[in-house]
Amino acid sequence: MNPSSLFASLGLPASSPTNGDLTVNSPIDGSLLAKLESTPLREVSTLVERAHAAFLTWRRVPAPRRGELIRLLGEELRIQKSTLGELVTRECGKIREEGLGEVQEMIDICDYAVGLSRMIGGHTFPSERPDHVMHENWYPLGVVGVISAFNFPVAVWAWNFAIAIVCGNSVVWKPSEKTPLTALACQEIFTRACAKFGEAPDGLSQVALGRADVGKALVDHPRVALVSATGSVPMGRAVGEAVARRMGRCLLELGGNNAVIVTPSVDLEVALPSIVFGAVGTAGQRCTTTRRLFVHTSLREELLTRLCKIFADLHARIGNPMDAQTLIGPLIDKDAFDRMQNALAGARAQGGRVHGGERVLADKYPEAHYVTPALVEISADAPILREETFAPILYMVAYEHLEDALALNNDVPQGLSSAIFTTDLREAELFRQSSDCGIANVNIGTSGAEIGGAFGGEKETGGGRESGSDSWKQYMRRQTATTYYGRQPPSLAQGIRFS
Ligand code: NAD
């Protein structure tokens, strides 16, 4: 579809340049997609107040009815899967298959949230006092502020939004300044769902466009009960500190530095496709991208040879992410390319041997940045191993004893995803118990999570959990309510007498 038809079908303004301060260039070829106005800072407060007013109405709507609105959102997303997926590809550069996968993830979380809307529940606890009953109740928080990164421009919003809404909250979303169009498209799709629903309060979902200053205005607003922020560690640190100062709540989903361990018992036919997708999928721009590979010394030569061959073969599959045969699209922008080259220079300076990592297709796309994936042989003590560079760089380190590989897996500031490839039950269990990450996979790569489990990581990854399991509890407040239904004066806990 040409951009104008695509924009029209998603209800977006025509793609012609206007005078907005927010320039959106496609990473595919650098072409201008749109110029949009950032939300003025003073307007952020208005959006939050409007969302708060919507919350006061919405929290009274029965949760299963709130689920009906999210069911309708899921239906609209099914209708728009192809168009929204294409816009994701055009705006953030991931291949068509992954753009569609991202929208599928939105649909999946809507389905999950619909079920959840009939299952939100608390415990009843036995009271130590006669004729007393103790309940745990869950109530919505209020306004949820969502700040998202460029690399999952729509799924991260949906993870937060679908669950926050069925829990009875309203949402103000500050998307990445690099992907505002997909955010506007989501808002339009939600508006269509609201029209079918018929009774959603105005202001239930708001979008504030702009850079970090707009995000800061949202973070500092005292009415924003929960800030759910996805992005880099420095961003999360700033957000976490600001929200803590006003005693608000934070859900942080930050950078990863994910490792795969390959043990001597590995089935390489299982391991290789997962390692390759983990390292080069989304051009290395996933928080769960495999960045470190710990290989037993007995397999080092074989794995190096095979990975170098696969990476070389992939050169023919680098290109326009709209083409069906492309497996590796562009980096998001020149800054990302520069950071990759700096990391590779740093790796060389630290004794690393770099295979690949060069710019390609510069003649065809002078305003875009395509690279070959890099495989770097390096020693375990190289400081660069501790950094997340958001690009397709896979550091390979040989180990002798499994305990050393387990220790190396944890020896980074981040703690998102980890994996082991083994056919030895003992090694698998030791790995699961030892990994300090939020995700620990066996014979599955680090990248590509399902929505049913809780998603997130430890240490500098921020500690937040989104999506499935009991992540919904983060969007609600917990209340313990004790009721006395006897006829005598009530007794005090711990047997205290006060008469
Ligand atoms: P980024 O930190 O540059 O920006 C993320 C968002 O934060 C943007 O919307 C940005 O405008 C906003 N922001 C930046 N500074 C802010 C501040 N001080 N206050 C409020 N808002 C602020 O990240 P990015 O380059 O868009 O994304 C890449 C990073 O995101 C990587 O580190 C990646 O690992 C991480 N990420 C993590 C997850 C996860 O679930 N753990 C998912 C996707 C991406």
User: What is the predicted pLDDT for the residue at 17?
Assistant: 59
**Active-site positions?**
253, 287
Percentages helix, strand, coil for the chain (3-state, rounded to 5) are: 40, 20, 35
Q: Phi-psi region for residue 275, left (φ > 0), alpha (ψ -120 to 50) or beta?
A: alpha
If one counts the domains in the chain, the total is: 2
Question: pLDDT digits over 361-400, tens only?
Answer: 999 999 999 999 999 999 999 999 999 999 999 999 999 9
User: What is the predicted pLDDT for the residue at 2?
Assistant: 85
124 and 243 co-located in one domain: yes
The reply to whether 36 falls in a domain is yes
Please work out whether the CB of residue 151 comes within 6 Å of at least one atom of ligand 1. Answer: yes
Helix (H) or strand (E) holding 376: strand 374-377
Domain span at residue 382? 258-442
51 and 198 co-located in one domain: yes
Rounded Cα distance between 186 and 152, Å, is 13
140 and 264 co-located in one domain: no
**461 CA closest ligand 1 atom index:** 41
The reply to whether 457 falls in a domain is no
111 and 230 co-located in one domain: yes
Residue with the two structure tokens 């929290």: 59
Q: 252: which strand partners?
A: 229
The Å distance, Cα 148 to ligand 1 centre, comes to: 6
Q: What is the CATH number of the domain that holds 323?
A: 3.40.309.10
The Å distance, Cα 456 to ligand 1 centre, comes to: 14
Q: What is the CATH number of the domain that holds 68?
A: 3.40.605.10
Residue 292 neighbours by CB under 8 Å, 6+ apart? 257, 258, 259, 260, 385, 394, 395, 397, 408, 409, 412
Please identify every stretch of the chain with a pLDDT value under 70, giving residue numbers as ranges.
Answer: 15-18
54 and 199 co-located in one domain: yes
**174 CA closest ligand 1 atom index:** 9
User: What is the predicted pLDDT for the residue at 41?
Assistant: 97
* Residue 37: count of CB within 10 angstroms of its CB: 13
227 and 325 co-located in one domain: no
60 and 101 co-located in one domain: yes
Please work out whether the CB of residue 147 comes within 6 Å of at least one atom of ligand 1. Answer: yes
185 and 323 co-located in one domain: no
The reply to whether 451 falls in a domain is no
**462 CA closest ligand 1 atom index:** 41
Rounded Cα distance between 188 and 295, Å, is 48
Amino acid at 272: L
User: What is the predicted pLDDT for the residue at 15?
Assistant: 61
The Å distance, Cα 389 to ligand 1 centre, comes to: 13
The reply to whether 496 falls in a domain is no
Helix (H) or strand (E) holding 262: strand 258-262
Residue nearest to atom 28 of ligand 1 (CA): 231
294 and 435 co-located in one domain: yes
Residue nearest to atom 30 of ligand 1 (CA): 231
The reply to whether 218 falls in a domain is yes
The reply to whether 173 falls in a domain is yes
Rounded Cα distance between 299 and 176, Å, is 41
- The pTM score is 0.97
CA–chain centroid gap for 378, Å, is 29
Q: How many residues does the chain have?
A: 499
User: What is the predicted pLDDT for the residue at 279?
Assistant: 98
Contact by Cβ (8 Å): 409, 294: yes
81 and 204 co-located in one domain: yes
139 and 200 co-located in one domain: yes
The reply to whether 239 falls in a domain is yes
319 and 383 co-located in one domain: yes
Please work out whether the CB of residue 287 comes within 6 Å of at least one atom of ligand 1. Answer: yes
The reply to whether 231 falls in a domain is yes
